[in-house]
Amino acid sequence: MERLLTHIESPEDLKKLNLDELPKLAQELREFIIDIVSTKEGHLGASLGVVELTIALHYVFNTPIDKLIWDVGHQAYGHKILTGRKEIFETNRQLGGISGFPKRSESKYDDFGTGHSSTSISAILGMAMASKLKGDFKKQHIAVVGDASIASGMAFEGLNHLGVTQVNALIVLNDNAIGIDPSVGALKKYLTNVKAGTAKDENIFECLNLNYTGPIDGHDVKALVAELERLKHVDGPKLLHIITTKGKGLKQAEEDQVVYHAPGKFDKITGERLKKSGQLQPPKYQDVFGHTIVELAQINEKIVGVTPAMPSGSSLKFMMDRMPDRAFDVGIAEQHAVTLAAGMATQGLVPFCNIYSTFLQRAYDQVIHDVALQKLPVIFCLDRAGLVGQDGPTHHGVFDMAFLRCVPNLIVFAPMNEMELRNIMYTAQLGLDKPIAIRYPRGRGATIDWKNHFEPIEIGRARCLKKGSKIAILTIGHMGNGISKLIESLDTPEAVGHYDMRFVKPLDKDLLRTIFNSYEHIVTVEDGAKMGGFGSAVLEFANDEGLSKPIKIFGVPDQFVEQGTIPETHKLAGMDFDTIHSYIQSTLDQCE
């Protein structure tokens, strides 16, 4: 039998199907997503859970004239396939391919970029208000919001405003009780009661002046079409509550929703994840953090852990399992996480606030106003710092050094390896008189035997890894491991010195003075933004000291770096091994 999906290149083709054909199309769309993601990797469970909803929305509404936003955007694979990207979907998240998230520059059907959560209600309200101001009362505006996303503060801000407008906007609450990790909080309990029919008489969304309907089965495509058709003719702000299963259609993805959010490569028939090489490898930095905080918390009862909705991704889950009363997942609420940690610090606790670098951007005011200004010794552990690979520009953690370095009372540290991460965590919990940010990258470290005995690190003290005579390379963080190997491959490695600076702030000025007096050229290497970052700090130091040695900065240029593997993104940013090697070698040649 010929496949329906073969003939669908746009929503116009979808509308040619009759209602009875839609369940078959849903099955084919699921199979297509599973087939591609099983070999190319990517986000799986979220898109499988909204297949019927995706079909129903494009079947009922006149996209792209009607506006449609997906929140968070890893739900949008089916949307991309139905809107002209089926033939190139295998390039998803690859270098030069389509983005893993909605992207306005990629398609007229992607009305808003949503790599971070909880932005869709504000954005769709802005679009709906614009339509009203233009006198266009027919255009529809739809935001699909997950139950974890709608619990975020920004989503509530949007709902609060939406409820006092008369715009034509529909919020579809995709309730599957999980984001990346299981949803948490009082709203989750309320939604559970709604589904069970045991909620209190008043409906929270009706109290916010939204026309509420549901909950309905989000996998009954015919029921979805019927309800969306009805809502299309209901004026004002409204909310449709649908119940879905994340990972729907793949048994393993339904049963292990956390792992199958982004499972890597797997067998598309059995669903089993493909076993990776049994070769002994260094641990992931996130796991070093997770094991170390448990180790420290066993000897320091004041230590607590806080993360905004990333217990598995940050490995704070280890502490949550061992010490559930001292480790907290606060949901998608980065601002709250930071200020919660600040409140804990005022009472003598030692809070480790673990946030992905890209998500700390959402809590910048709290870092300044609630923590640094009050000199509260919160320990920020910034996971996924630097270029993160295939999640692309929405998730690259490249701005933290620049936006944190300018904040008074804040220490900024980047470990070169696992032992340095353990030692700085140990040092921080001994007691600091100000906050510290510890940034480390996605992926594995550099050392097999990493469980060292703890040693305190002197704040603001760098390390000389190798002395030289002509060029000094100053590195910050994990990038230093690649530079050590690079130096060994040079024609005259003895001419190159290597310094692990460790602290972006405060800089080791004594060592820097020695370096500037001992070398002809200075090179800085960082996995972060060049503008305002570590290299800029060295330039500022040189200017203040009246030093005039040539300084070359390798870092992320003034652009958003697209997706690709981490080596590919480093090359895009001009900070890959070959580029740095060529520069160092040619500079050495000129010195002779």
Instruction: Kindly list the catalytic residues.
Output: 246, 334, 362
Can you say which residues are annotated as belonging to the binding site for Mg(2+)? 147, 176
Torsions phi, psi for 167 (to 5 deg): -80, 165
CA distances from 486 to 257, 422, 472, 492, 576 (A): 41, 26, 13, 11, 11
Q: Which two tokens stand for residue 33?
A: 């997503």
CA distance between the termini of the chain:
73
Q: How many whole angstroms separate alpha carbon 187 and alpha carbon 173?
A: 12
Residue of 458, 453, 445, 542 lying closest to 506 (CA atoms):
458
CA distances from 206 to 159, 187, 201, 214, 484 (A): 11, 14, 11, 12, 61
Q: Which two tokens stand for residue 80?
A: 């991309």
Tokens 């040539």 sit on residue: 550
3-class DSSP assignment, residue 413:
strand
User: Facing residues of 379 across strands?
Assistant: 352, 436
The side-by-side arrangement of strands in the sheet containing 379-383 is: 327-329, 303-307, 350-356, 379-383, 436-439, 411-413, 503-505
Contacts (Cβ under 8 Å, ≥6 apart) of 134:
none
- Helices assigned H by DSSP within 87-220: 120-133, 153-162, 186-196, 204-207
Torsions phi, psi for 498 (to 5 deg): -135, 130
**What are the start-end ranges of the E strands in 506-564?**
521-529, 551-556
8 Å CB contact between 168 and 235: yes
> What's the half-sphere exposure (Cβ side, CA atoms, 13 Å) at 453?
0
Query: What is the full DSSP assignment across 461-501?
Result: --EEEE--SSEEEEE-TTHHHHHHHHHHTSS-GGGEEEEE-
Residue of 352, 371, 469 lying closest to 421 (CA atoms):
352
Helix%, strand%, coil% for the chain, nearest 5? 40, 15, 40
8 Å CB contact between 55 and 79: no
Torsions phi, psi for 415 (to 5 deg): -75, 140
Torsions phi, psi for 55 (to 5 deg): -60, -45
8 Å CB contact between 409 and 381: no
8 Å CB contact between 83 and 94: no
Helices 153-162 and 120-133, packing angle to 10 deg: 30
Can you say which residues are annotated as belonging to the binding site for thiamine diphosphate? 74, 115-117, 148-149, 176, 334
Torsions phi, psi for 85 (to 5 deg): -115, 20
